[in-house]
Amino acid sequence: MSQNTELNLTGVKQSQGMWLVKVPKYLSQQWDNAAEKGEVGKITIGKKQGKTEVHFSLDAELSALGATEEKGGLLQVPRDHPFTVHTVGGQTLAVFSQSSTDEIRLEGMVVYRAECRPVVNDNYMKLKKLQIKESTKPQRISQQLERAVTSVFKPVANHDFNVEYEKKKKSEGKMVRAERQVVLDMLFSAFEKHQYYNIKDLVDITRQPVTYLKEIMREIGTYNSKGTHKSTWELKPEYRHYHSAEEEERESA
């Protein structure tokens, strides 16, 4: 649950304004592969005949890196990307950041929105074609098998699973009736944790034969055949003491 954190407003007051730039996926992937220093390219802002033009060019290394494996480096990630810049129209965009320490900072306001567009040339078209081919490949394909499946079930004297089961049973041995008092103690401690128990679960917990256990349960508990807790056992009211931090008082038979 995140706390009600105070928004750090220092950033927004200082910053002069940010740009929100939409970058194509392949380009952002390249940027992720950038070197440690983080330099990915250069941006050129110029004024051509009065109009501002922004142009981004990708680093040569990164462009080469981005070549797909299949083509063996022939295809390069396009380098030149003019930016289409326009102002933020019907929205007021602000940027806030969340740090790992759960501190929220208002970084600043967006003054320009830009889209990074690649220059449409043959290189780019080839790249796109590859991308499309990749995405249209189905995730599941049918393969033809050379040999037919031959996992026919052969008759077995005793199945593996059964063998294990019997070994387990042998090792644990039959459930022996413990002392009544011991069993009662076990039951009471179990009922301390939960109110309703299945007979099977009780058998599991106490490791007692079912008939013996049922006998004891009939003494100290009742069986719910109806209601929300369908076929469960619970302690009789006089034995119960379900309060949060109080010790349970039990009466032994």
Partner 1 sequence: MTSLGSSSSSATEYTVRVPKNTSKKYNIMAFNAGDRVNCSTWTQARMERDMSARRIYGEEETTEGAAGSEFGKKQREEARRKKFGIVTREFKVEDQPWILKVNGKAGKRFKGLKKGGVTENASYYIFTQCPDGAFEAFPVHGWYNFTPQAKHRTLTAEEAEEEWGRRNKVVNHFSIMLQRRLREQEHGEDEGDEAEKSGKKKKKGGRGGDLCIHDLEDDLGMSSDDSDSSMGDDGENKSKVKKNTGKGAKKKKPKSSDKEALEDSDDGDYEGLEVDYMSDESSSDEEPEKGKPNKGEELPKGIDEASESEEESEEEKQNDAEEKEEEEEEEGKKTPVQIEKKKKKDSSGESDTSDDSDIEGETASALFMKKRTPPKRGGRGSAGSSRTGSRPGTPSIDSASTSNTLRAAASKLEQGKRQIQGPGTDSPAAKRLKMEPSSQSPVPSGKSTPQPPSGKSTPSSSDVQLTEEAVRRYLIRKPMTTKDLLKKFQTKRTGLSSEQTVNVLAQILKRLNPERKNINDKMHFYLTE
CB of 113 to partner 1, least distance (A): 9
Residues 219-248 that bind partner 1 (CB under 8 A): 229, 232, 242, 244
| Contact stretch for partner 1 (CB under 8 A) within 8-16, 137-145, 157-165, 173-181 | 8-16
Kindly state whether residue 5 participates in binding partner 1, applying the rule CB under 8 A: yes
Query: With respect to partner 1, which residue has the nearer C-beta, 49 or 158?
Result: 49
CB of 194 to partner 1, least distance (A): 5
Tokens of 43: 């941006």
* The length of the chain, given as a count of residues: 253
Q: How many CA atoms lie within 13 A of 33 on its CB side?
A: 16
CB of 169 to partner 1, least distance (A): 22
Q: How many whole angstroms separate alpha carbon 134 and alpha carbon 142?
A: 17
Residues 115-174 that bind partner 1 (CB under 8 A): none
Neighbouring CB atoms inside 10 A of 233's CB total 23
Residues 18-47 that bind partner 1 (CB under 8 A): 18-25, 28, 31-32, 34, 36-47
- In one-letter notation, the amino acid at residue 36 is E
Q: How many whole angstroms separate alpha carbon 7 and alpha carbon 1?
A: 17
Query: With respect to partner 1, which residue has the nearer C-beta, 135 or 158?
Result: 135
Among 65, 67, 80, 109, binds partner 1 (CB under 8 A): 109
Among 167, 194, 218, 236, binds partner 1 (CB under 8 A): 194
CB of 218 to partner 1, least distance (A): 19
Query: With respect to partner 1, which residue has the nearer C-beta, 131 or 162?
Result: 131
Q: How many whole angstroms separate alpha carbon 24 and alpha carbon 29?
A: 9
Q: What angle do CA 116, 120, 126 make, to 5 degrees?
A: 110
Which residues 6+ apart lie within 8 Å of 102 measured at CB? 2, 3, 5
